[in-house]
Chain A
């Protein structure tokens, strides 16, 4: 099983020891896979991504990354931790958290600089990454002057500059305009074609078909209620409805009142 990237075994996690966020999660993720974790708000998707990024650690169970068990920083060998961070990049849901430097250029350069990449190479990478995400014109801007879509693209650029093997995206398209959503989906799909492993937490079912081959549905009990191919999960209406991922929609259509479910895959008549 050398191509296993993450192995999550019976993981339980709670905030402050009393608010459960994850209960008995088992997932195995292999290199080059496109995975989506879907679920309503507060079902533990972001928590799982933070666990996979080694930022928090399970109360019970364990997470293995690239064959090594993820341990608290104090128990983590510095070299192993360094290597792990180089191979796994997390794009946070709130871009304001991810962009903590006084300029976009410095934010993109921050990651490679921490990994000891030479200054000249960092400058080259910064320009390259900016070109890929079409943000060259933003390089000398201050993050707080950017729109949400621009911030999200800069946040992705800051992770892309590290060139990790695994990308973790937390709600990458939430609150964005359709064109920016398109750019981000294209970026994710292209990254996967280049062999990168993609794990996306989202409740935007419209993008699942493109960004994921396998989907895990998180339920209100903070555990996985179902995993499977994106088509099979997205076609399971009762599963999606019972987990608050689709709703009944009422509107006027061709002169009559119309009630139907909001589904990502099937256009209605």
Chain B
């Protein structure tokens, strides 16, 4: 009985701690961004623009084969950028296409997408027919999602967040928005650590076993306490900004150093996109 109760109350804690650990690992580790590799060596502006161009191409193309070529290119870039392909595939292929398959599942059948039947079956007296347009559409959708997600993941893995934020400025995003996002990023880690510490402190006082109701009240108290601290800290951070001359219109540093290699890469990327568009047009 104690075990069951313990498992239930522990579930929230474990879920929160796992979520925090994932958050830290996914957004803060910058493990791959600090490695030496092809994408890491590019100017972040050129890298972002080229990968965005690939993304737009993937979204616009109507041929799964051509999008597949882009996906292949994405894997080659991952290899050249010291990103372990197995981990990259797990991160991109395992979860996101699974969700997209769930979304497109109904469109496979003749009931939603009529057309040439490819396979028919009967389950518990109910017959279903998979149609060619349905299958083609589903394949195109899943490949497009997988490629788009892979490109975005590749960009985020190989670029430091501070550089990504600077690129946003270059792309014309208002500075106040960029400052807000960058501060969210900056303090996310701090608050994640704070919540973890609170859990550890609670555990050291009440022990590992706590009743479900007690566990709920601890989590509720934790949320309220974090809210209080964030409010207080936001006021203090604003004071620190004022103290250093902030007047409501932030001016931020933009420091990039484009090399001939960056221009060559951008040109290559645009030629690839144009080639794929042309192929898509004549196919």
> Are B237 and A97 in contact, with the CB atoms below 8 A?
yes
Give the complex CA separation of A122 and B241 in angstroms: 17
User: How far does the Cβ of A2 sit from chain B's closest Cβ, in whole Å?
Assistant: 25
Among A50, A100, A144, find the residue whose CB has the most chain B CB atoms closer than 10 A.
A100
Question: B170 within 8 Å of A by Cβ?
Answer: no
B94 partner residues in chain A, CB cutoff 8 A: none
Task: Please tell me if B28 contacts chain A, counting CB pairs below 8 Å.
Answer: yes
Within B246-283, which residues are at the interface with A (CB < 8 Å)?
246-247, 250-255
Nearest CB in chain A to that of B192: its residue = A144
Inter-chain contacts of B183 with A (CB < 8 A): 100-101
A86 beta carbon closer than 8 Å to chain B: yes
Q: Which among A89, A97, A105, A123 is the interface contact of B236 at CB below 8 angstroms?
A: A97
Query: Which residues on A sit within 8 Å (CB–CB) of B187?
Result: 100
Report Cα–Cα, A19/B153, bound state, in Å. Answer: 50
User: How far apart are the CA atoms of A207 and B244 in the complex, in Å?
Assistant: 26
- Verify if B118 is at the interface (C-beta below 8 Å from A): no
Separation of A82 and B190 alpha carbons in the complex (Å)? 31
What is the distance, in angstroms, from B121's C-beta to the closest C-beta of chain A? 54
> Are B190 and A89 within 8 A (Cβ)?
no
CB distance from A138 to the nearest CB of B (A): 13
Interface residues of A in 187-210 (CB under 8 A from B): none
Cβ-defined contact, A110 with B186, below 8 A? no
Is B233 in contact with chain A by the CB < 8 A criterion? Answer: yes
Please give, as numbers and ranges, the residues of chain B lying within 8 Å of A73 by CB-CB distance. 242
The chain A residue sitting closest to B193, CB to CB, is A144
Q: Residues of A contacting B250 with CB < 8 Å? A: 114
Instruction: Verify if B15 is at the interface (C-beta below 8 Å from A).
Output: no
Give the 3 A-B residue pairs with the shortest CB-CB distance, closest first: A114-B245, A102-B162, A111-B244
Q: A85-B245, A102-B165, A144-B189 are in contact. List 8 more A-B contacts (CB 8 A).
A: A55-B243, A97-B237, A106-B252, A106-B253, A110-B252, A122-B253, A142-B186, A144-B190
| Interface SS majority for chain B | helix
Partner of A142, one of B28, B245, B252: B28
> Looking across the interface, which residue of chain A has its beta carbon closest to that of B24?
A144
Taking a contact as CB atoms under 8 Å apart, the answer to whether A102 and B245 are in contact is: no
Determine whether the beta carbon of B182 is less than 8 Å from that of A101: yes
| A78 in the interface (beta carbon within 8 A) | yes
Which residues, 53 to 88 on A, are CB-close (under 8 Å) to B?
53, 55, 73, 78, 81-82, 85-86
Question: Smallest CB-CB separation from A94: which chain B residue?
Answer: B236
CB-CB under 8 A for A97 and B233, given A106-B162, A113-B253, A144-B186: yes
Partner of A82, one of B182, B233, B239, B245: B245
Interface CB pairs A-B, < 8 A, 10: A90-B243, A92-B236, A92-B240, A94-B236, A101-B183, A110-B246, A114-B245, A140-B160, A140-B162, A144-B193
